[in-house]
Amino acid sequence: MSGDDDSSGWQLTESDPGVFTELLKTLGVPLIMDDLYSLDPESLSSLKPLHALIFLFKWLPSSSDETSNLSTGQYDPEFPGFFAHQVVNNACATLALTSFTNEMDPQTRGMVITSVDWLREAHNSLSPPSAISMDGLGLPRKSEDAYHFVVYLPVMGALYELDGLKEYPVKHGAYEDKGEGWVKTAREVIEARIATYPVGALEFSLLALRDDPLPTLQSQLHQLQSTGHSAEAAEVVVKLANENSKRERWAFENSLRRHNHVGLVHALLSVLAKSGRLMQAQEGAKRIMQDRIEKRKAKGGDMDED
């Protein structure tokens, strides 16, 4: 779970394919993550083969109930794969990606993983730096929305849900190899979970773990060019360009995540102050924020005015 409680040095992680792919690279896993905006067969066909789905959702108090979200599955204490408990906040993203020894109980695995310095550093390297602290100002602490990652993946012919806040993996039953396979069962389970939230709720995100398509596309391009299929080769060139462009965007965005922008902000504020425009900019920012608050309230939302 990701929230504002004790994190033991683990920072919040964005549900972003570039962030997760970089973490996979650090772990030595030759796979990538991609955003999923729909679970319909057409959207999934271009991403096959899929190895797992990582689902982010807004954590509600009812989620802490051990029996919650078990309507479509049951605990499996004999789960044959890796499973670890989440023992500190904000570590759920990395736990969703990590593989470790099975010769430990889930609680011990969770403690071991979250004690590994290099893994915590890799996790935190792509989190925005917390350079501005409000501690010591006497401001009341306000709770923030908490979000949580869980994994859905096929294991030995059955769909499993791995949630580090639960005692055991949840087995959602067997699936048929034909057709959509395990993804069909996963879609039903995820849609049932989303249906427990208010209509129109958008506090969800879904990532797909898949093979890196670059080696396959490069091989296809070489084969098509060598056999003179120029039209088909041109289509592959477009796909390669899109994949490379996506990776360039990921690299740029991750570089921004790693950079500390406090120096830039300080320099801009200094320039505004020296030019006598700081108070004007401050008043303008207050008006913009007030407009946002009013618009949010008009939609039934809630924002602090201080």
Q: Point out the residues that are catalytic.
A: 92, 148
Question: What is the rounded CA–CA span in Å between residue 48 and residue 78?
Answer: 29
CB–CB of 162/73 below 8 Å? no
| Tokens 């109980």, located at residue | 105
Structure tokens at 42: 């057409």
| Residue in 126, 87, 106 with CA at minimum distance from that of residue 8 | 87
| Residue in 65, 38, 103, 69 with CA at minimum distance from that of residue 171 | 69
Question: What is the rounded CA–CA span in Å between residue 293 and residue 301?
Answer: 9
Peptide bond into 198 cis (omega under 30): no
Plot region of 69 (φ>0 → left; ψ -120 to 50 → alpha; else → beta): left
